[in-house]
Amino acid sequence: MKTIETFNKNINKGNMLFFMLGFLLTLSLFGQHPVRDILTLEKNWKFIKGDVANAQQIAFNDSKWETVTVPHDWAIKGPFDKEIDKQTVAIVQNGEKVATEKTGRTGALPYIGVGWYRNTFSLPNFSEEKKVILLFEGAMSEPEIFINGKKIGSWNYGYSYFYFDITEHISSNQQNTLAVKLTNVGLSSRWYPGAGLYRNVRVIVKNKASINQWGTFITTPLITEHLAKVNVKTKVSGKQLKLVTTIKDAKGKTVATDTVETIFDNEFEQNIAVKNPNLWSPETPYLYTASFQLYAENILKDETETRFGIRDIKYEAEKGFSLNGKITKFKGVCLHHDLGPIGTAINKSALRRQLRILKDMGANAIRSSHNMPSLEQLELCDEMGFLFLAESFDEWAKPKIENGYHRFFETDAEKDIVNLVHATRNHPSIVMWSSGNEVPDQWGSQGAKRAKWLQDIFHREDPTRPVTVGMDQVKATMASGFGAVLDIPGLNYRVHLYEEAYEAFPQGLILGSETASTVSSRGIYKFPVEEFKMKQYDDFQSSSYDLEACSWSNIPDEDFVLQDDKPWVIGEFVWTGFDYLGEPTPYDTKWPSRSSYFGINDLAGLPKDRYYLYRSRWNTKDETLHILPHWNWEGREGEVTPVFVYTSYNSAELFVNGKSMGIQKKNKSTAKHRYRLMWMDVTYEPGTIKVVAFDDEGNPAAEKEIHTAGKPYQLILESDRTVIKANGKDLAFVTVSVVDRNGVPCPTATHQLKFKVKGEGAFRAACNGDATSLEPFHVPTMKLFSGKLVVLLQSSSKAGKINLTVSGNGLKTEKIIIQTKI
């Protein structure tokens, strides 16, 4: 396209000579082989569940296998079955002492077993001067890799990135057969781990004289208002080499360049000055690009680039965490790696939607829990401005579950950490590492030694970031010295021990590495409204008054007090930003219950009431005014039905059908009263409830109403985006809700809906956020839950329109059109 545009421009100018020179140059460049080819193996994979003898052989007939696209999660289509990975166990982390049957702990999806993947690829530019790298960004689990029938390697940790040099196994100018065997054993996870090649697989062809895989390390050790020192270390292979590094700003303009020929132990080191630097932060996530050209005897041998940010981080006793000289609290959430109805198969648009929702809530940080993050997630956090706590393991040498990571810890922990650090260390979003979560090794001196050993590996590979561990056995870590060893003591819950831990540990600060674990079901409210621990109901739902927690945890307000009143508490990571598959506490012994209740947002990505509680405190730019519960309570007339308001304002007045219920003001009498406005004596009568919020001068500043809805009449369809990319991957998330004839939302509707999709796209999945639903996500029908659900539409590779039609008995059918563009 660029050549055609040049042709038209030059012909119009009559500058034929200039055109011919440009055309000949273009032909010359196209005629040369690139110095580096990256082939992403996405399509035409063959897959079969089950162990197939000799499936790695080149001549094996896989024509009857399923054809899939990678990333792929073989288990997400279900069915849900309580017998899958049924675990009879006492969960020590939850304080349990008696073993009980846990039916939905790993999501009740069929992830256990062996799966085979096969694909073919050719490398037309391969020659003796080339090397070939086979890169996996995650494979669940225990992958064994075969090239052209020969096993070339294996890996154990399903969350790890890894690669092999397969040069000697490649056939030049012929089809090469890649086979991958994955083995998921039962009792190997505490949540839904997914199954399959759930992250990208790539083949990288480059010269033998080249930049090593993950061989660049960029830091910014000195920053002033007018100048930043960018330190670049680049590991290479080859002799008599020269490296040219160019730094470009966000607009692509070159701001600095440097050439180096002196090499030490296969590594170049450069210090490059960038004038008037733009600093990276959650508010201004500015990114530079470093381009690298490697020469041997003035011949270009390799070329690559990486994005980075210029930013300064510090952790100081009593003061806390500072970013670019500004004290900053972590307003973070923990995230598991599954993406709800599409499972663990990585999808950038689904990740982006999650981060948009969290950004609006005011969150500024993410903790990958309890695993290594996807590279796509880190790229988006760089772009959108999220601080990141990158976690490695949920187990060390002592087991939590029978077939957990402890089987591989002694042999694999170091190489897994090295790969984590090398693959991700250039991301400015990462400001801290975590070497573990609630590991049983917290007891005893041996655990403290392991903590130091792991921390030393992180420090060796990256001296610029501190290391933490999520500790739930705080008393034990005080006694063993475990907590004192860490750069940053991370407390999982245990709000009653913060003061004691602060006095006992020498670091002078505490991180809320995991907080709250409040449980709720979107749109479900229980009476009477009281605080409970491990409360259970006959419908296996939890109340959305946000007063129910687990035996070991607490409501959000108790963490808010610590964050606001203690400068040495450097922030929190709430468990969790979104519901996830598995761990259905407090119903982990009940069936059907197959996903969590912890999320601030439900499994479909729809906000629960708690979202607005966090938003009222975290989002300091936008107004928040949210009323709960809904006002459809047929049969509760005259009964006490408390009304809560989550708002960024400090006071408000509530009206029921025009009658004032009085003014409530936030105060410090209790943690709840400090952050919520609560009218506990309201009695239900159908009609309208209205809240009027006041500014600090007592003037009305905002108001909101909720109405009692009539009978469900019409469907409403709202998409998160009306235009998506025609790349065969992009997703549109369409929220479907129901209103009455007057347009009032119907919060208790449970109609069964059907979905039809036509045009340049397809139905991908649906989700209603109900943790007890056993409806498969991939079938185009689903019941509403609390009046809503979400439909996922996936683009094709052609530009055009996607037409979604949603229907349900007794409801007016509705349609929506999504545009797809190249």
Catalytic (active site) residue 461: no
Strands (E), 578-730: 625-628, 643-647, 651-656, 659-665, 677-679, 688-694, 700-707, 714-719, 723-725
* Rounded Cα gap, residues 462 and 13, in angstroms: 55
Give how far Cα 689 sits from Cα of 246, 310, 709, 761, Å.
61, 50, 12, 42
Strands (E), 475-557: 488-492, 510-516, 532-533, 548-549
* Rounded Cα gap, residues 496 and 657, in angstroms: 42
CB of 707 within 8 A of CB of 769? no
Strands (E), 24-166: 36-40, 45-49, 66-68, 87-89, 100-102, 113-121, 130-136, 144-147, 150-154, 162-165
Catalytic residue among 376, 461, 514, 583: 514
Q: What is the DSSP string of 702-749?
A: EEEEEE---S--EEEEEES-SEEESSS--EEEEEEEEE-TTS-B-TT-
Interacting residues of 342 by C-beta distance below 8 A, sequence separation 6+: 73, 76, 350, 764, 765, 777, 792
Give how far Cα 677 sits from Cα of 333, 443, 693, Å.
24, 42, 10
Catalytic residue among 376, 395, 438, 685: 438
Give how far Cα 372 sits from Cα of 107, 141, 214, 394, 581, Å.
20, 14, 16, 10, 17
CB of 203 within 8 A of CB of 123? yes
Interacting residues of 637 by C-beta distance below 8 A, sequence separation 6+: 684, 685, 686
CB of 437 within 8 A of CB of 394? yes
Catalytic (active site) residue 438: yes
* Rounded Cα gap, residues 482 and 505, in angstroms: 10
* Rounded Cα gap, residues 296 and 207, in angstroms: 11
- Of the CA atoms within 13 Å of residue 78, those in its CB half-sphere come to 20
Q: What is the DSSP letter of 637?
A: T
* Rounded Cα gap, residues 300 and 293, in angstroms: 7
Give how far Cα 716 sits from Cα of 391, 442, 575, 752, 816, Å.
40, 51, 31, 15, 9
Enumerate the active-site residues.
Answer: 438, 514
